[in-house]
Amino acid sequence: MNIQGKVFVVTGGGSGVGRELVLLLVKMGARVAAVDISEKGSQETVDLAGGLKSAITTHVFNITDQAAVAALPEKVIAAHGTVDGLINCAGIIQKFVRVNDLSFDEINRVMNVNFYGMVYMTKAFLPLLLERPEASLVNVSSMGGYLPVPGQTIYGASKAAAKLFSEGLYSELMDTRVHVTVVFPGSMSTNIATNSGVTIPGGATIDTSKIKLTAPTVAAETILKGIEKNSYHVFIGRDSIMMDFLVRLMPKRATKIIYNQMKSIMPS
């Protein structure tokens, strides 16, 4: 799919990978409706666009609000005239605790943002995408969506749901002009923990000395290349590529590797 001249809706556009997607899309000649819960973050994204800011509209609300999501397509059409692509990038992680110590409020919060928010956005915009000569629907899952990460079990479950939801959509839409892509970021240098309101227990740190963190700019470039190629799966970072291979070849060993990396921050 050619990005130039297209209109995209991007969730999570106020920070991290979502912000970089918005900025790169307008640089490539697209127009963007940027969705985020943070008004400050959304405005910062617009300011960073400089002379291209007129190509961006901001829409500040919580994607777990089904009524607000349902009202968004009309607003985007009014501002941009059409919609050619949807990138569901917004997401949060959970507290670094075992499921046994995780409240139902926290479980629901993570599932609502990472899964139901994505479903609401998809249901709202898919009818419009199906009307276009060609369209793209991109859902951001995670390496944690195919590989268990202790202390992030509910987060992983939400991202596994995003994976299979996206693959099911791909199958259902195979005979249409809507291309579906699911993205699997590995370890990223973003502020997702802060934006999720999560701190690591006891001030512990994760040993990333052997892990190359991927910058949000690189992630955005990789995702947009996937859109241009109508890719089915997009893996971001060497760790995501390697662990996808390992978890299919030796799932128990792959699980042990991640456990050894994470056990230092798990509460006793």
Annotate 194-241 with DSSP letters as a single string. Answer: HHTT---GGG-----TT--PBPHHHHHHHHHHHHHTT-SEEEESHHHH
The answer to whether residue 171 is domain-embedded is yes
204 lies in some domain: yes
Specify if 202 maps to a domain. yes
Confidence (pLDDT) at 66:
98
267 pLDDT more than 90: no
Mark out the alpha helices in the chain (DSSP H runs).
Answer: 16-27, 39-48, 66-80, 104-111, 117-129, 153-172, 192-195, 216-228, 238-249, 251-262
Q: How many domains does the chain have?
A: 1
The pLDDT confidence band at residue 109, using thresholds 50, 70 and 90, is very high
Q: What is the pLDDT of residue 84?
A: 98
Could you tell me what percent of the chain has a pLDDT over 70?
Answer: 91
* Domain coverage including residue 152: 7-265
Residues 6 or more apart whose CB falls under 8 angstroms from that of 35 comprise 9, 10, 11, 12, 13, 58, 59, 60, 61, 63, 72, 90, 121
Cβ–Cβ < 8 Å for 49, 22: yes
Q: Evaluate if residue 2 carries a pLDDT over 70.
A: yes
Q: Is residue 46 part of a domain?
A: yes
Which pair of structure tokens corresponds to residue 218? Answer: 């690189």
pLDDT at 76: 98
The answer to whether residue 1 sits within a structural domain is no
Domain containing residue 13: CATH number? 3.40.50.720
Please indicate, yes or no, if residue 32 is contained in any of the structural domains. Answer: yes
Q: What is the pLDDT of residues 120-158, one digit of tens each?
A: 999 999 999 999 999 999 999 999 999 999 999 999 999
Residue range 197-226: mean pLDDT, rounded: 74
Residue 191 counted as domain residue = yes
155 is catalytic: yes
Distance CA 200, CA 196 (A): 12
* Per-residue confidence band for 169, with pLDDT thresholds at 50, 70 and 90: very high
The answer, yes or no, to whether residue 203 has pLDDT greater than 60, is no
The answer to the question of residue 2 being in a domain is: no
Q: Which of 120, 155, 170, 259 is catalytic?
A: 155
Mean pLDDT, rounded, of the chain: 93
